[in-house]
Structure 1
Amino acid sequence: METLLPFALLCFTSFFTLTNPLGTMPVFLTMTNGLSDQERRAIVKRATIISFITLMIFTFSGQFLFKFFGISTNGFRIAGGFIIFKIGYDMLQARYSNAKLKEEEVKTYADDISITPLAIPMLCGPGAIANGIMLMDDANTYTLKGILIGIIAIVYFITFLILRASTRLVKMLGETGNNVMMRLMGLILMVIAVECFVSGIRPILTDILKQALS
């Protein structure tokens, strides 16, 4: 029980900040401008389901990919730490997603935005994928793996609810409130990224020191 709660909290905070539904709201509203609430709900539903399935595929196939490409877990943790740190830094600066569409493109691709760019890469980007693979590697028991899967499902369900109510939430939070939330989540994400980087580089440095001393 002592390890379950910290692991669950780590999973929730990292995935929620990487998914960043609060920061995605203004972009989502811009992309769906002119669409009815029913059409928006359908897009959100498809996007969250696609994001969850995509993340699950990468999370479970991570170890296979490591073996297939000959990638070390520690090397992936270092690279993943850099990716997550960059995302956290952008959020700390209150920068929104780079995914932007022109007004005429919104109407043309209204049916497709649930897959790209909303599901991939906004709700399920490289940061979330890297985080999923690393946490699955840490989950050395079936209980921890179950917690990881459950937390990911909960995060995407919350994301669905937030984006579904995005019109009301944007008015309630306002630009200042949204920026404050993004900065706080960005700071948390940067701390998690540093932990990933340290956990990856420590074994490598230990091996180098052992070889130097032997």
Structure 2
Amino acid sequence: MDNLITFAITVFTGFFAITNPISNMTVFVSLTRGLDKETKRDINKRSNIIAFVIVTVFVLLGKYIFELFNISVPAFKITGGILIFYIGFEMLQSKKSDVKNIKNVDVDEDIAISPLAIPILAGPGTIVTAMNFVANVQTIHIFLVIAIFGTMSLITFYTFRLSDLIVKVVGNNVISVIGKIMGLIIAIIGTGMVITGIKISFDLITT
């Protein structure tokens, strides 16, 4: 039971850092500026539902994806850890990660799908994080990861819903500081994944 609680805390922390609803809230505000409340609400709801479905599919089919492309668990953890560390490192430098950053967005597009759902909420970093959490674990852990990401989607939904008020009250400077803290957490998680991958490769831990 203690292991499940520890696992759940680790997963929640990882998802919260990588999805970063507070920082992404500013992206949502900028993309939906000038739109009416009903349209904003619809975009918010659809983007989070789509992101949840995408991550859930990768979580459930991750094992088969590994087998299809002959990907080993250690290789995935090491590569995924490097990618996640890179995203966190860029956040620490107050840079928008190239992995998640979208340039020249056309607001006339269906922004609920792109860029909000993909890659802002369910980008490579989020997918890699989710698949790393379910690599070589029991079924209960898989469903726990899905439930926690569902919770994160709800948190993101309500954060976006209150985005205008939050930005006005908190201010951009505080949001920037929070982004740096999230970047540090992401970088640490990425480093941990690399270490775990190396340990598994050399049979230094039981898997």
Distance across 2 between alignment mates of 1:12 and 1:46 = 22
Greater gyration radius: 1
Contact 2:59–2:142 (Cα < 8 Å) also in 1: no
SS at match of 1:115: helix
2:104 is the counterpart of 1:101: yes
Contact 2:58–2:131 (Cα < 8 Å) also in 1: yes
Given the alignment, which residue of 132, 142, 146 partners 1:149? 146
1:125 counterpart letter in structure 2: G
Correspondences of 1:63-212 after superposition (within 5 Å): 63-96=63-96, 97-101=100-104, 105-106=106-107, 108-109=108-109, 112-140=110-138, 142-206=139-203
Q: How far 1:38 sits from its partner (Å)? A: 1.3
Distance across 1 between alignment mates of 2:9 and 2:136 = 14
SS at match of 1:3: helix
Distance across 2 between alignment mates of 1:80 and 1:155 = 20
Contact 2:73–2:136 (Cα < 8 Å) also in 1: no
Contact 1:17–1:186 (Cα < 8 Å) also in 2: yes
Q: 1:92 to 1:154 in 2, by over 3 A?
A: same
1:177 counterpart letter in structure 2: V
- Runs of 4+ in structure 1 over 3 Å off: none
Distance across 1 between alignment mates of 2:146 and 2:5 = 14
1:44-64 deviation line (CA, Å, top 9, x unaligned): 100000000000001111110
TM-score (norm 1): 0.89
5+ long unaligned stretches in structure 1:
208-214
Q: Which residue of 2 aligns with 1:30?
A: 30
SS at match of 1:137: coil
5+ long unaligned stretches in structure 2:
none
Q: How far 1:202 sits from its partner (Å)? A: 1.8
SS at match of 1:66: helix
Q: Which residue of 2 aligns with 1:52?
A: 52
SS at match of 2:74: helix
- Give identity over the alignment, percent: 37
Q: 1:100 to 1:167 in 2, by over 3 A?
A: farther
When the two chains are superposed, the root-mean-square deviation of aligned CA atoms in Å is 1.5
SS at match of 1:116: helix
